[in-house]
Amino acid sequence: MSIPSLLIAALNGGSGKTLISVGLTAALRNRGLILSVFKKGPDYIDAGWLSIAAGRPCHNLDQYLFSREIILSSFARRSVNTDIAIIEGNRGIFDGVDNQGSFSSAELSKLLKSPTMMIIDCGKMTGTAAALVKGCQEFDPDLHIAGIILNRVKGARHEHVVIESIKRISNIPVVGVVPGMTLKNFPQRHLGLLPIQEHPAAIEFVDEAREIVEKSVDLNEIQKAAKLAKEIYPVSPSEQEKEPQSEPINSNLRIGILRDSAFQFYYPENIEALVCRGAHMIEINALESKLLPDVDALYIGGGFPETNAERLANNSSFRDSIRSFVESGGPVYAECGGLMFLARSLVIDDRIFPMVGVFNAHSVLNKRPQGLGYVELKALTPNPFFKAGEVLRGHEFHYSTMILDEPEPHSWPFDVLRGHGIDGAHDGLCFKNALGMYAHVHTLGEPRWADSLVRKAQEFRINKIVQDENL
């Protein structure tokens, strides 16, 4: 099958991929097209912006976390009955995990048979832009670069020189020229945009990005380029994306999920996997809810608890109810920001904010990243969600350091085979049926995660029923 699609790439991070990808998606949607949207890599924040622009969930495609077959199946299945698929790349087009460019945006473009739309940041540059285009063509002749969008162009003369320089050495068409500008609705943090939950003017930014693209990019040429996508080979049933089991384990299970401006990093596939296994997802606002509702398990994703530290600290009744839930054996799965929340305190500069206190540790915020990139972990014991010896892949991105009250726990849940984790060699803290770790996992790469969380929820529910009957 052939899926009209484009992968939006650039030569380096910070070149305008997200702005143009969001604006392009919103502009095509404004034409009445139905889009499927994807983010290359494990990024949550850009995916959130693409979701708003497309009016439907954005899904991640990651060659390190998923197999080739799962990527093809997920891409094809989620693009059915859409007019065009937009994939936002990450980092530079050829940047991968090694000097061979493994798992790069270029490799994903070739796997999906999707033409690449290359963004060139022309700030303080003219003819060199042509050299960069030529270099990309010769570096990987198999990569189909269908068009070029020039970004940060300063005036008509700058535009003319750059375009003519490219025409002189390449037949790749320039389909857009985006001027250099200051965007009023473009607040950033760390590696890119603010999360949509924290952005004071999310819809306004998407509209602003759409207007920029509509004025600066030839959308007709964009649609033509997308139709140049080649047929991807059918995936055999045995190789297809592993679907959640069709028969729910227990259709009455209630799994709570903290979802607010402090905890916001969740892959849509992770939620779908739990629902398809029989769970009813109960959204909870950790900043406003006074008590944890009646749930059989709790899922706390990542986010930025540090930006909401005071509100989390002041909501003592909610924190106490989570601690009581854990003490009663309630299963809790927490990632990164969730791990920080379950610690005893969050330390920011010279201020100490009390947190839940499940783990005898304190998270200390630093000025620079303490863990960034892909991780590989080997499960040890005890561990409520993964069997000893299992190896799982994920990613981490955290500015905090975890300081333990004891020199080290009696036993670590995970050895770190790749990445940093808590201390460079281990990741995860565990108490009863609560597990917190810096690593984020994706259910398409680690389906065992969803199975285990639902199984623990069912066990906890059965125990509650038995206890109630014995009263």
Residues annotated as catalytic (active site), given as ranges: 336
What string of DSSP letters covers 67-85?
-HHHHHHHHHHHHTT-SEE
Residue among 386, 458, 452 nearest 415 (CA): 386
**Omega cis (within 30) before 447:** no
Question: Strand pairing partners for 151?
Answer: 121
136 three-state secondary structure: helix
The sign of the CA dihedral 59, 61, 66, 68 is: positive
Q: Pairing between strand 426-427 and 414-418?
A: antiparallel
What does the alpha-carbon distance between residue 66 and residue 236 come to, in Å, rounded to a whole number? 16
CA distances in angstroms from 142 to 98, 134, 136, 149, listed in the order given:
19, 13, 10, 20
Residue in the block written with tokens 């790349």: 89
Contact 280, 253 (CB under 8 A): yes
Contact 396, 419 (CB under 8 A): yes
Q: Where are the beta strands (DSSP E) in 14-69?
A: 35-40, 58-61
Q: What is the DSSP letter of 237?
A: G
Residues with Cβ within 8 Å of residue 153, at least 6 apart in sequence: 122, 159, 162, 177, 178, 179, 180
